[in-house]
A and B are shown apart, each in its own frame.
Chain A
Amino acid sequence: MKSKFYAGVASIALLAGSAAAQDLIVAPGTEGFNWESFDAFAAEHDFSGETVTISGPWLQPDQTFLRNTLAYFEEATGATVNYSGSDSFEQDIVIAIQANSAPNVAVFPQPGLAADMAARGALAPLGDDVADWMRDGYAAGQSWIDLGTFANPQGEDEFYGFFYKVDVKSLVWYSPEQFDEMGYDIPETLEDLKALSQQMVDDGGTPWCIGLGSGAATGWPATDWVEDIMLRLHAPELYDDWITNDLPFNSPEVIEAIETFGIFAQTDGWAQGGPEAVATTDFRDSPAGLFQIPPACYMHKQASFIPAFFPEGSVYGQDFDFFYFPAFAEKDLGEPVMGAGTQFTITDDSDATRGLFEFLKTPIAHEIWMAQSGFLTPHLGVNLDVFADDSLRAMNEILLDATTFRFDASDVMPGEIGAGAFWTGMVDFVTGTDAETVANNVQARWDQMR
């Protein structure tokens, strides 16, 4: 595993037909990437013959991006990485932990669920070294550490979750071509956004594509709406209280946020197919309306990862673009940004597993995925030039420029709320239950857990 070896590796690999080297999507040595970090890592670690198993929520196409990235870990250490993704990861990982057949690494999309598992003693702490590194290695490092710190079975706080792959959620996607053809402007305030929506309806169009379908997780896209609106209606401190239930779920502030979401999802003609379609359309399928001729809708609010589900061959700037989901002009709350992320945790410890976390600290582990699609990172050592396209770079800027950054509330709430009652509650709301009843039901479930 010497750096010299890589010089001609691409051509040799092609000649020899070696599968291992062909897996590397960016030839080592390619300009712009931080190869020193890779070589240094490779020189220090050797896990030949060992296997690291990873379970996570990513399906295609993210699954391929992850495998492409981890191929560099395999190349550097000789270890084998087996990743498997599931749409009901939240259920499967709990069953697996119960059955003692947990993988080495579990990738939690939700700190709330990870906290549950840590409290059961199913996770191994990452240790102070990793935390110390993250404090300086990540932008706003301490806040990422806090989000990855949970109570262990004895009730003491320890650092468990390594954030890798971050999403910005406060984005609205649209087709610049259609905005151009119809003469629409990008709204600067939430008031403008509502006016634009009405304008689109008056022009005979449909402003929004919203889809809540997501298998066992159906409903979560609506929670993002409510959270983003919550940050735009009320001070961030209230948002924090909401997460810890110090602000009850059925308080007027939360109900107001839910009802504001209702304006977008339930106003006649505002959402494609009406509230009914909103409840069942798969979220991966819902942006398709932007690309139809004639367009089935003009705007789609979704996180930074969604371009992965756009039709093949869609080009940023030509077929699609995004703008920041704006704040109310009348409320003086700055420009809040809501985001989410996935955290790597150790569910079955081994040397190679620890090695994987060392790998995640290297810039190259971030840059390889940045060069593919749908990946943002707070890592301070990466070269932003390697982003696959300008949209990612622009989103990374939104992430770093936010006056207020808050993590997706439903992800931080306890699993049964954030990955259960809140989801189904939103489906109920969209299909006609009033906001107050929905909020009361969620709060009731929260009360039961004590």
Chain B
Amino acid sequence: MPPVLQGILTIIIGVGGCVGYFYASNLILDKVIFPAKGPKAGININRANKVRPWLFLFPAMFALGLYLAYPVVGSFWRSLFDRSGANFIGLGNYFDLFSESTFRTAVFNNLLWVLFVPAMATFLGLLVAQLTDRLSWGNIAKSLIFMPMAISFVGASLIWKFVYAANPDIGIINALRDFFGMQTLDPLQVQFWNNFFLMFILVWIQTGFAMVILSAALRGIPEETIEAAIIDGANAFQIFFQIKVPQIMGTIVVVWTTITILVLKVFDIVYTMTGGNFGTHILPSYMMTYMFRDDGRATAVAFVIMLLVLPVMIWNIRQARKEMR
């Protein structure tokens, strides 16, 4: 069966199945198990309403549990065994990892990514959002800066190869260096800084996201507060930093954490640009060198990533609970 047909069939079965499940399960609940008639109608309605949320929730909870919650436990368990999966070695994989210099480099680089990318993307996003706010062609500018969001990391890496290439007839950076009589160099081999060149690709992609959200937040600030400040004689910078930024602080934090979460998932850029060479490994790409060869080691790396995001996770949950109250 050609995959297109298979795809269409899946959509029909999948979507039909979902709709059918929700419809049928509600019907059965209301008509068969707890019918809303007869002597116990009132009690039945109450009972049905107690069960119904779980009907609505079940598929999502099942998928979430299987695809996200179970792996956390499953991966941790696997990481306690050796490469064959037969022998329990406790935290052996973790000790081995930390004694390896490539791994330490990857952790260090990953921390750089986590700090730099969200900060830079949020900062640039805020800057563009503010600058384009009153601009006649602001929407066009925003669209163009938002555009990289649609491009895959692999596509983006290819695009940036035309910027970073060492050949001055291909890479624009080296063309400029060549033009000014400087020696050409391969930016991706400049130790330490090459990490930032790779990070900038992600910043390039994510700035648009930050910009759009922050731009909307800026517009949500009541006009009166700003007008009052103008009348008080505040200049543009004072207005921006002392009035606007504090007002949208909540949104800035949300944008920041969203990008942080994304950063920890991205492995494509390193994979296609350097393959982890020249000291540019990050944990997700480092994990790929072990995956399915030494699963114990690979899952241990994955779990280290998990530990890195843990603070963000806890903060997120606390934030969500605060909102609900």
Q: Do chains A and B touch in the complex (CB under 8 A)?
A: yes
User: Quick one: CB contact mask for A70-106 with B, threshold 8 Å, 1 for yes?
Assistant: 0000000000000000000001001100100000000
User: When A276-B166, A280-B188 are in contact, do A95 and B292 touch as well, CB less than 8 Å?
Assistant: yes
Query: What is the bound-complex CA distance between A216 and B291, given in angstroms?
Result: 14
Cβ B166 vs Cβ A91 within 8 A: no
User: Quick one: CB contact mask for B180-199 with A, threshold 8 Å, 1 for yes?
Assistant: 00000110110000000000
Query: What is the bound-complex CA distance between A444 and B289, given in angstroms?
Result: 16
Cβ B186 vs Cβ A276 within 8 A: yes
**Residue numbers in A under 8 Å from B278 (CB-CB):** 279, 427, 431
**Residue numbers in B under 8 Å from A137 (CB-CB):** none
**Residue numbers in B under 8 Å from A428 (CB-CB):** 277
Cβ B292 vs Cβ A98 within 8 A: yes
On chain B, which size bracket covers the interface? 10 to 19
Query: What is the bound-complex CA distance between A280 and B96, given in angstroms?
Result: 30
Cβ B292 vs Cβ A91 within 8 A: yes
Min Cβ gap A433→B in Å is: 10
Cβ B166 vs Cβ A273 within 8 A: yes
Q: Which of B151-171 contact A (CB under 8 A)?
A: 166
Query: What is the bound-complex CA distance between A98 and B293, given in angstroms?
Result: 10
Cβ B277 vs Cβ A427 within 8 A: yes
Min Cβ gap B136→A in Å is: 44
User: Quick one: CB contact mask for A405-428 with B, threshold 8 Å, 1 for yes?
Assistant: 000000000011000100010011
User: Quick one: CB contact mask for B257-280 with A, threshold 8 Å, 1 for yes?
Assistant: 000000000000001000111100
Cβ A94 vs Cβ B292 within 8 A: yes
**Residue numbers in B under 8 Å from A276 (CB-CB):** 166, 185-186, 189
**Residue numbers in B under 8 Å from A448 (CB-CB):** 96
User: When A218-B275, A424-B277, A431-B278 are in contact, do A280 and B292 touch as well, CB less than 8 Å?
Assistant: no
Name the contact of A416 in the complex, choosing from B185, B271, B293 (C-beta under 8 A). Answer: B293
Cβ A415 vs Cβ B277 within 8 A: no
Min Cβ gap B198→A in Å is: 14
Min Cβ gap A283→B in Å is: 13
Min Cβ gap A382→B in Å is: 37
Query: What is the bound-complex CA distance between A213 and B270, given in angstroms?
Result: 14
Chain A contact residues, majority secondary structure? helix
Query: What is the bound-complex CA distance between A112 and B276, given in angstroms?
Result: 23
Q: How many residues of A contact B (CB 8 A)?
A: 25
Name the contact of B275 in the complex, choosing from A94, A95, A216, A416 (C-beta under 8 A). Answer: A216
- Determine if B288 is an interface residue (Cβ-Cβ < 8 Å): yes
Cβ A279 vs Cβ B292 within 8 A: no
Query: What is the bound-complex CA distance between A173 and B101, given in angstroms?
Result: 38
Min Cβ gap B192→A in Å is: 13
Query: What is the bound-complex CA distance between A415 and B96, given in angstroms?
Result: 19
- Determine if A368 is an interface residue (Cβ-Cβ < 8 Å): no
- Determine if A277 is an interface residue (Cβ-Cβ < 8 Å): yes
Q: Which of B278-297 contact A (CB under 8 A)?
A: 278, 288-289, 291-294
Query: What is the bound-complex CA distance between A431 and B194, given in angstroms?
Result: 13
**Residue numbers in B under 8 Å from A91 (CB-CB):** 288, 291-292
- Determine if A215 is an interface residue (Cβ-Cβ < 8 Å): yes
Min Cβ gap A218→B in Å is: 5
Cβ A279 vs Cβ B277 within 8 A: yes
User: When A218-B275, A218-B277, A448-B96 are in contact, do A277 and B292 touch as well, CB less than 8 Å?
Assistant: no
**Residue numbers in A under 8 Å from B100 (CB-CB):** 444
Most buried by A among B100, B275, B294: B275
Q: List 5 A-B contacts (CB under 8 A).
A: A95-B291, A216-B271, A277-B186, A279-B277, A279-B278
Seen from chain B, the residues whose Cβ lies within 8 Å of a Cβ on chain A are 96, 100-101, 166, 185-186, 188-189, 271, 275-278, 288-289, 291-294
Q: Which 7 A-B pairs have the closest CB atoms?
A: A94-B292, A427-B277, A276-B186, A95-B292, A98-B292, A218-B275, A276-B189
